[in-house]
Structure 1
Amino acid sequence: MKLFDAHCHLQDPRILSNVPQIIATAQSVGVAAFAVNGVSEKDWLQVKHMSQSYPSVIPSFGLHPWFVAERSPNWFNTLKQFFDSTPSAAVGEIGLDKGSHGRNVDFSDQVEVLKNQLQLAKTLNKPASVHCVRAFGELLEMMKSMGPFPAGVILHSYLGSAEMVPEFSKLGAYFSFSGFLMSLKANKAKKMLQMVPSDRILLETDAPDALPKSNIDSLFFVDGDPSLPEEPQGQSSTSSSASGTSLNDGSQVLTDASTLPKETLNHPANIHLVLDYVASMLEITKEELAELSYQNAVRVFSYEGSKVLHA
């Protein structure tokens, strides 16, 4: 099975030093490509360099809502220059956030920054990966006023309502699912997933965040993760087979991800667990979903200049 991680952050400082190992391990279990999303002016160059070093890395540049207040006066021109010099890049991560992180950033600023970036994505005819927390109504209205988006808008780690799926779909949205989906009640997740058109479904990890809620023995861990009390007896980034079922820190036995520290790092190889969960919710085989989601990702990332066109 080939899989395409439609949204991750391999440039994150928490895992950057492990990237060669992380990519090799994920590729060994079938992950063929990684859409790596920059979040601010501070990491766009790192994402660009990573894409030059790894054929499997699809770069994306964007200003994430959490970092809107830190933008420089020249941020938008800088962003456009990155696209000029990197034809293989998509747009992202951009978005709106009214959650615990986002409410510290002026919402009108978030709206202005998102509009500029969505318009740029339309102008460049590239897909945009969008973060949305507690602001789906506002996002939908903005997309209606600007849309449709024939190159695609990827609603990353989608946790919006089932009812909004058809409206977003009409505007060109794709729905990307990560381990965060497992935090929803199963009946709500199932109802929402069943509304997503089969040609609009993507899978992602959002690594190093969004660790799936799964048994320890099925998880891949990032080697040297400082949040873990000792090496987990699951699958490290250098191991392709589980060596046990629990992690014992001397006071408790940890048997699934819900008992791990919330800072535990996610590994892109854990996309298999997202695949398993979404396939079970949709009542289709893993193989069917892998093929479907891979082809959808290839389609959305096949814009002019994209690496996917030459893969």
Structure 2
Amino acid sequence: MEIFDSHTHLNDTPYAGEEAAYVANAAALGVTEMAIVGSDTELNAGAMALAARFSNLYAIVGWHPESSKDYTKAAEDLLITQLADAKTVALGEIGLDYHWDTSPREIQRRVFRRQLAIARDLHIPVSIHSRDAFEDTYDILKAAHLEDFGGIMHSFTGDGEWAQKFLDLGMYVSFSGIVSFKNAPEEHESVRLIPEDRLLVETDAPYLTPVPYRGKPNQPAYTRYVVEAVAKWREDTPEHIAAITRANAHRIFNLL
């Protein structure tokens, strides 16, 4: 079994200095590839460094909505340079977060639209963060004609109706450890209806640790348990889910 963790933060503080050990842990559970995701100047640089260091790791760089108040022309110029790197596979994670509101909502929307315009110009896919903001996220993505360059709803938490709306935009839908929780009926509903060619898995580590390690620190290796949970709810085998989600990650990230 070969698994692709399509969204993880091995560049974050909990893993500092131990990245090689976590990559080895992941390989032991069949997680052979990862997309390392940034969100600001420091974490974008960390994602790039890990992608350069490990052949099976790739970088996603962008400005998270929580950090959008710090987005500047200099930050954008650097981002565009980073997006040209051969190991950078997407722009992200970008989007809207109305839960924490650490950046004013109008700034979030402006920076989100700007990064979508960059992705469109460069024809690179985007990884989308949306928390308590599905309606505005959907409207902005639709206006940006995302179907022309592609995107992922990362760690999707919506019901089947919202899943279908994002699928209709041509998006891929990625599930994190939440799908393994017993009290996640909306995710269980959604994961059953995603077409095979649009399904992805992730850890979002160090967050959202799946069962059987819920409540403990997360790590990319645990994508294995996300795969098993997805297989359970879809009445499929882990081997098949691993194979199709890996193929889908290769497609959306242009790694074919």
Q: TM-score range by the shorter chain?
A: over 0.9
Match of 1:82 in 2: 82
Aligned to 2:115: 117
Residue 207 of structure 1 pairs with residue 221 of structure 2: no
- State the alpha-carbon separation in 2 of the partners of residues 189 and 67 from structure 1: 27
Q: Deviations over 1:29-48 (max 9, x none)?
A: 21121100111012222221
Partner of 1:300: 252
Q: 1:27 maps to what in 2?
A: 27
Taking the TM superposition and a 5 Å limit, the aligned residue runs for 1:224-239 are none
Structure 2's unaligned 5+ residue stretches are none
Larger Rg: 1
Q: Conserved in 2, the CA contact under 8 Å of 1:151 and 1:172?
A: no
Dislocated runs of 4+, deviation >6 Å: none
- Is 2:148 the partner of 1:196? no
Asked if 2 retains the 8 angstrom alpha-carbon contact of 1:122 and 1:149, the reply is no
Cα distance change of structure 1 residues 106 and 178 upon mapping to structure 2, 3 Å threshold:
same
| Aligned-pair CA distance for 1:198 | 1.4
Q: How does 1:254-273 map to 2 (within 5 A)?
A: 257=214, 260=215, 264-273=216-225
CA displacement at 1:186 relative to structure 2:
4.6
SS in 2 for 1:295: helix
1:71-220 matches, within 5 Å, as 71-84=71-84, 86-89=85-88, 90-99=90-99, 101=100, 103-183=101-181, 185-214=183-212, 219=213
Question: Over residues 228-270 of structure 1, what are the superposed CA-to-partner deviations in whole Å (9 max), with x where a residue is unaligned?
Answer: xxxxxxxxxxxxxxxxxxxxxxxxxxxxx3xx4xxx4211111
The TM-score normalised by the length of structure 1 is 0.78
**Count of equivalent residues:** 255
**TM-score w.r.t. length of structure 2:** 0.94
Aligned to 2:226: 274
For residues 184 and 158 of structure 1, the distance between their equivalents in structure 2, rounded to whole angstroms, comes to: 16
CA-atom RMSD, angstroms? 1.6
Contact in 2 for aligned 1:96/1:133 (Cα 8 Å): yes
User: Do the aligned partners of 1:151 and 1:300 also contact (CA within 8 Å) in 2?
Assistant: no
Further displaced range: 30-39 or 183-192? 183-192
Q: Is the 1:158–1:181 contact (alpha carbons within 8 Å) kept by the matching residues of 2?
A: no
**Aligned-pair distance for 1:183?**
4.6
Greater alpha carbon shift after TM alignment, 25-34 vs 57-66:
25-34
Give unmatched runs, 5+ long, in structure 1: 220-256, 303-307
* Distance apart, 1:173 and its partner CA: 0.8
- AA at the equivalent of 1:6: S
Q: Distance in 2 between matches of 1:53 and 1:125?
A: 25
Give, as a single letter, the amino acid of the residue that structure 2 aligns with 1:30: G
Is the CA contact (8 Å cut-off) linking 2:30 and 2:224 kept in structure 1?
no
Residue matched to 1:48: 48
Amino acid at match of 2:222: N
Distance 1:71 1:146, change over 3 A: closer
The structural deviation recorded for 1:213 is 2.9
Partner SS state of residue 7, structure 1: strand
Deviation for aligned residue 1:16? 1.9
Q: What secondary structure is seen at the aligned counterpart in 1 of 2:160?
A: coil
